[in-house]
Amino acid sequence: MLLNPKAKERDLKLKGAVQINHSSFFVFKDKNGKTFLKNGEDEKLHKSIVQKMIELNPHIARLLRRYKIKPVIDTRTLNELTNGHMNDTCNIAMGVYSILSNEIKDKVDKGTLKEASMLHDLGKVLIPSKILNKPAKLNVKERKIMNIHSTLGYELLKTQNLSNETLALIKYHHQNLQHSGYPVLPADKTSSDLGVQIISIADKYSALREARVYRRRLSRMEALLILYREVREGKIMPSVFNALLKYAELFDN
């Protein structure tokens, strides 16, 4: 694997992100199939990569127009998300996966899960920061805009050579077993997909254990109780929750 800051962005396809010595790096493949690492904290680079992704997919421009969102890329958000929440979600998802029984594990691909959890909230770079960082409850209109981040992430990454499985996990990471999450699932898709369940529970647990502008950081027990309520409501698979419980006991002190 090479660290090549001079590699031309136009020739590169994003494959995921990794954390090395507390610094984040995006993983790219060039047209010859060679893998490169690029520093994930380079704001200029971030901006040009995301700009390129927007140019490659006209559907993104249509979505932004429909929701009256300016195509402004919030690179600070991207840096914070990559180093914080997305990396944390990835670690929790990998932890939960490792605890699941072999019989359940066989139903999901570990590499796909890792890639998708590391990139799941990329669409937030296009959500206006006054909505993303609002220190109060979002109103209905703001909530609608916020909720398209998973679709935006999917559209941004659709042109980046990721597998359909990875893209589906990114698009549906806010879906649940009762199909009451977002975006709406097409008739042929099922949210009981184990990968969606693992990313979704890791995402929620990571978010609850972080302080947000509108609330304090919740304790391990408070976070687990909220998720247990979702198990009782039929939104989360009990086996996935039990694995998170074990993960939290072992690694989240």
Query: What's the rounded Cα separation, in Å, for the pair 106 and 103?
Result: 6
Kindly identify the residues of this chain, within the stretch 195-224, that bind Fe ion according to CB under 5 A.
203
Task: Decide whether 37 or 88 has the Cβ nearer to Fe ion.
Answer: 88
Binding span for Fe ion by CB under 5 A among 8-16, 59-67, 68-76, 119-127: 119-127
Task: Decide whether 12 or 155 has the Cβ nearer to Fe ion.
Answer: 155
- Minimum separation from the CB atom of position 159 to Fe ion (A): 20
Instruction: Indicate the DSSP class of residue 67.
Output: T
- Minimum separation from the CB atom of position 202 to Fe ion (A): 9
CA torsion, points 197, 251, 228, 118, in degrees to nearest 10?
Answer: -30
- Minimum separation from the CB atom of position 252 to Fe ion (A): 17
Q: Determine how many CB atoms are found less than 10 A away from the CB of residue 92.
A: 25
Q: Does 115 bind Fe ion (CB under 5 A)?
A: no
Kindly identify the residues of this chain, within the stretch 224-253, that bind Fe ion according to CB under 5 A.
none
Alpha helices in the chain (DSSP H): 43-56, 58-66, 75-83, 85-99, 102-105, 110-119, 129-132, 140-146, 149-157, 164-171, 194-208, 220-232, 238-251
Task: Decide whether 86 or 248 has the Cβ nearer to Fe ion.
Answer: 86
- Minimum separation from the CB atom of position 134 to Fe ion (A): 16
190 to each of 76, 112, 193, how far by Cα in Å? Answer: 34, 17, 6
- Minimum separation from the CB atom of position 103 to Fe ion (A): 28
Both structure tokens of 184: 């709406």
Task: Decide whether 37 or 173 has the Cβ nearer to Fe ion.
Answer: 173
Task: Decide whether 15 or 88 has the Cβ nearer to Fe ion.
Answer: 88
Query: What's the rounded Cα separation, in Å, for the pair 232 and 175?
Result: 16
Q: Which residues sit at the interface with Fe ion, rule CB under 5 A?
A: 121, 203
